[in-house]
Every structure is written in C-alpha cells, then in structure tokens.
Chain A
Amino acid sequence: MPENKTLLEVRNLKQYFDINMGFFRSKPLKAVDDVSFSIRKGETLGLVGESGCGKTTVGRSILHLYTPTGGQVIYDGQEIKSRESLREFRRKATMVFQDPYSSLNPRMTVSDIVAEPLDVHKLYKTKKEREDRVLELMGYVGLNSEHASRYAHEFSGGQRQRIGIARALAVNPEFIVCDEPVSALDVSIQAQVINMFDDLQDKLGLTYLFIAHDLLVVRHISDRIAVMYLGKMVELADAEEIYKHPLHPYSQSLLSAVPMPDPKTARANKRIVLTGDIPSPLNAPSGCPFRTRCRFATPACAESMPAFEEVSKDHFVACHRVKEIN
C-alpha cells in the first residue's frame, strides 16, 4: 500500500536529442519536455500515451541511461547528480525492459544474466552466496532451479520476461521502472506477469513506474496514472479518478478508445475519434501540443503552453480550457 512519503521526484525533466540534419546542422528533438511528477513509496504510477510520446524516454532518463538535458531527479530526498549518487541510485532503482527477446544476452546462461547486477555491484562474497541468491530470485518469479544453466533462447517469451524481472530484482531494489513489460506477451501471459508484479510489490514493498500503452493493464496495476502527449504530461490523477472523470481532451479520447468487454456499455460508450496524426516532435506545434488535434482548440491555445495545474485534489491537468469544457 502506498505510504505518504515521496520516494522519487522528477522536476522539469527535459530530454532533447540532437538530430543531425546533415552538414553540421542539428536540431533538438524534444522527446521529453518539462515533465514533473512524484511517486510515493509503495505505489505504482502508470504512464500512458501513444507511441512516440516519450514514455520510454522518461523511464530511461530517470535512470540516467540518457543524461537528462535539464531538470532534476530526486530520489529519497537526494538529487541524482554526481557519479556516487548515481551509483548508489542504480542499486536501488532498476528496470524491466519491453522486449524479452533482445533484453537477454544470447551468450549468457540464465544464472549469469540474473546475477549480472550482483557481479557489477560485487554484492556477494562466495560463489555459493551468488548461486543461492540466483535460485532465490528465480523462485520469486516462478522459474525452476534447473533453468539456471540454460540459455535465454530456450525459453518462451513469458519465461524470458520472468528472467528479466529476476534480474531487475537482484540488487534488492526499492524502485523499478517497468518499460512496457507486458506489451510483447500474449494476453494470458500478460495476466500472469501482471499478477506477479502485484505479488512482488506486496512481498518486497516495491515502487513501480509502470509504462504501458494498454490502458486496461495500467488501470489494473496502477494507483495513479499519468498521461503523456508529445513529450509533455497532460494529466495526472488517481487511477479511478482518471477513468471516471478524465479532464484533458486527449485523455478523454484515449479512454474512449479502450475496448469494453461488455457490448452494452461498449454501445453506450461514445468514441472520440482524433483526426490527424501525432505531430513530429521535431517541429511541435506552438503553445499547447495537443491543439492541432483538439476538438476544443481556440486561437489562444496556440499562444502559450498551458500550465500543469491541480484542478481538483491530486488531479493535475495541462489545458487552458479545462474549466470550460468539463
């Protein structure tokens, strides 16, 4: 259960990539632009948005896999800046990757893969200790001991994802960035893996940043949900709140697109279909990034970026007209 203590705080995170335009000209691609949020200890923050909106980049920038262009990442009251703080941080924060096929080295046995973080941080004294820890981790994720000496290609997608999760758990982390951990798996396996994430959270007191584009999965696992669009965060609220009362027009259309299992509710549910494509982040529209596809856009929306404000309790929205349209 989430406690009332902030574990991770992200302030004005910016991640720009220089795109080569040829002949020494380059242009910044604003993959993540001015994103701020915080995660409480023990909670799961879901991060949703369509492809290319910068969800994955947020996760990777937090772990400093890319050096952020600007902004701060504050973990447990300490800013991640120096090499020492980063090293310390990487023992507490790990990552589960999207693709279970490319995230495991094909030349390493499962036990070597799982023990790699232990090797890197030198967290054991004897071989026996390492082996015991590997078997313990494999037990957490439901793998047998005889799997330890096998290679990753001998496993199915779901099993591979379990190996990836065991690796993420190796250093006894407090915080895990789950970068679309189930989107490469089929539905029945998704359920298993999601439930495993839930169980591990209860057992080990983990905090998740859960990145996904499957809204039902996110709803199931998250305590709070953040919606991103074109590198910016447009809405952040409790999971139930955002499903019942989405305030931002983008969240509204996103949620209306969720397939409903019950045909009656599905028929009653009116889809809000967005026109046009997501603009390239290389030349993002001025002002509100969503205005080019927004039903409620006015000329004023082109002028300034709306502030990310608390509209009701714990419900943040970035929209100029949020009061008028709801």
Chain B
Amino acid sequence: MFNANKPFSMHLNPDAFRPATEAEKEYISQMRPSSTFFKDGCKRLMKNKVATASLIIIIVVTLSSILLPLFWPYSYDAMLGVRPGKPADSSFNNLQPFTYGKTELKRIAAGEKVFPHIFGTDSHGRDYFIRVVYGTRISLAVGFFASIIVLIIGMTIGSIAGYFGGKVDIIIMRIVDMIYSLPDMLVIILLSVVLGRTLNVEGTIFAKIGSNVISMFIVFGLLYWVSMARLIRGQILSLREQEYVLSAQATGASGSWIIKKHLLPNCISVIIISTALQIPNAIFTESFLSFLGLGVNAPMPSLGSLASDALNGITSYTYRLVIPAVVICLIVLSLNLFGDGLRDAFDPKLNA
C-alpha cells in the first residue's frame, strides 16, 4: 500500500484494513442469476439437435406459409389460362414444373421476365406452388386453432374436475367416458353434413374456409378435449395434495385462485407438451377429411384436398400427389419430434 507521506516506509495504511460496511459487502457479494424452470427447460431443448431442427423447420414452414402469398405473383384461385373477354387458353393447364403457357412464352420471347411455375400448374391452370403454400397455411391454421380450442376446453374442465373432486369429478369423468366411446370420424362426417346445410356462413369471414372446416372445429371442441381434460385432471389430482395448496386454502384463497396460481403453473409442462403433440394430430385429421372431400371448400386448397385432387392424374403427374404428402409428413413429423423434445426438456420426471 502506497503511503503518500512516507513514500519509502514499510508502514501500511491502516485505513485500507477497515472492515467493509454493509453497503460495500452487499456490493461485493454476487449472487448467481436466478434460473427458472422455464429457462432450464429451454436450455435443455436447445441442446437437443433433433428438436431444434424440427423447431426451425416449423418456423420456416409457418413463416413462408404466412409471408409468401403476400408477394407471390400468382394467387391460389386464379386460373392463368382464363382472361376476361378471351377464349380459355388450355395451354396453362397441367403445366410441368418450370414450364410456361403460350402467352407467357410469347412474353419471354419478347424479353420480359416471367415468374416460373415452380411446381407447374394444376388441371385448371392454377399455379401449384402457391396452392401448396395456401394448403399448408390452412392445415397449420386448423391444427393450431383446433389445439387451442382443445386446450382451453380441456384445461378448464380438467382442472375443475381435478380440483373440486367428489361428485363434480365423477359426473365430468363419466361424460368424458361417454365422449370417448363415440366414433369421432362418424361424428365429424355427420356434423359436416348437417352443419353444411344448416350453418349459413355466406358473407361472413368463414365463407372462404367453408362450413366443413367450421364443423371440424366444432367437432374438435366437442370431442377432442377429453384426453386433454383427463391428462390435466390427473396432474391436478396429484398436485392438489401438496402443502402449498393447503397453505393457500388456509389463507382463504378461492378455488379459481388456487387453480390459476398454483395448479396450472405446475402442470404447464404437461400442457405445453400435449398441445404441441395435439397440433399434428389435428393437421392429420384435417388432411384426412379433406382427402375424403369433407374438408375446406373449393377453390380454397388444403394439403389433403390437393392430394385428393392429384389422385386423378396420378400416373402422369405423380409429383402433384407427392408434394402435399411430403409437406404433410414434414409438418407432422417435425411437430411430433419437437413435441418429444419438449417433453424431454420439460418433464421433470424424465430428467430426474
């Protein structure tokens, strides 16, 4: 220690050895940043390469299905060969990938640039790529919203049954058992037939996607919440016995407070995981129904209806079946793998 008064002295400045004040101690003591369960889970998720890759694929597919139609020069329902006031030009129908119709060839010859039909066109002369993009958009939207519906209904009913128990639980769970025993495909088909007649969606924003998709949402809302409700009820039944719930009851907290503040946050990992796994399930159901002709209304495409349409020309235009099928596989597979990754990262029982 340098002493200004006696530069060559060996005396140490006693001022340097005073005990630190409380404020100084607090300044020096460093605490490890608090790590939450969620942060830990995200860290584990990022370490899982398969899940990360799946997440990237999901994000890319979702973003492109949302953004691409905004600046794509063709629209999903425009028949390129049909111009007002001119006879239909059949050269646009059934184009192979990266080929052009007659008028487009003329424009290319004149030195104009024409945006290529990456996947060709379909039998009505509509750009196939943008139809696939739109189909993906519809499929993703159906999967996402159906899962949200399932989540909300299942979470509410499951947590009520689990928390209040007793007679409430018995009644709700018997209803769940009854719904479980209904053949869901039959109900979907019946509902879409009935709703297609009775639901008047003309002139509303639902007109484009059609009554079939509405009925699909209704069916998801009516039928598919049961497994989510069962899952959450089971979780809450075990969490309810924890002492922190008892402590909240002792302070006089209401049932809804305890469910919101204590029970649901503690089964959030299960909720996230099963919702993530519900999305591919819904997409699959939608594709399947569209394939049967019970999905979205034409001309709106969905991946299932694209595949279904492609069946007519399966020998000459196989790629038209393969493309939507591959996209469905890609979405469903990556969502499933991502869901598995989520489970590995967030389910504390697995990484104990």
Please report A residues at the B interface, Cβ cutoff 8 Å. 60, 63, 65, 86-87, 90-91, 94-95, 97-99, 102-109, 116-117, 120-121, 146, 149-151, 154, 164, 167, 171
Contact = CB atoms under 8 A, between A and B. Distances in A.
Given A149-B34, A150-B34, A120 B251 contact: yes
B246 A121 contact: no
B37 to A, nearest CB: 7
Given A106-B37, A146-B31, A149-B34, A95 B247 contact: yes
B257 A97 contact: no
A222 B257 CA distance: 35
Interface in B257-274: 257, 261-262, 265-266, 268
30 contacts: A60-B246, A63-B250, A65-B250, A91-B252, A94-B250, A94-B251, A97-B246, A98-B243, A99-B243, A102-B244, A103-B242, A103-B243, A103-B244, A105-B242, A105-B265, A107-B37, A107-B262, A107-B265, A107-B266, A116-B248, A116-B251, A116-B253, A120-B251, A120-B253, A146-B31, A150-B34, A154-B34, A164-B247, A167-B247, A171-B251
Given A150-B34, A151-B34, A154-B34, A104 B244 contact: yes
A106 B248 contact: no
A194 B246 CA distance: 23
B340 to A, nearest CB: 23
Contacts of A121: 251-252
A120 B252 contact: yes
A86 B31 contact: no
A110 B37 CA distance: 15
Contacts of B250: 63, 65, 90, 94-95
Contacts of B13: none
Contacts of B36: 151
Interface of B: 26, 31, 34, 36-37, 242-244, 246-253, 257, 261-262, 265-266, 268
Contact of B262 (A105, A150, A154): A105
A97 B252 contact: no
Contacts of A105: 242, 244, 261-262, 265-266
B219 to A, nearest CB: 34
A171 B257 CA distance: 17
Contact of A90 (B34, B252, B265): B252
A272 B248 CA distance: 42
A14 B249 CA distance: 20
A171 B250 CA distance: 12
Contacts of A60: 246
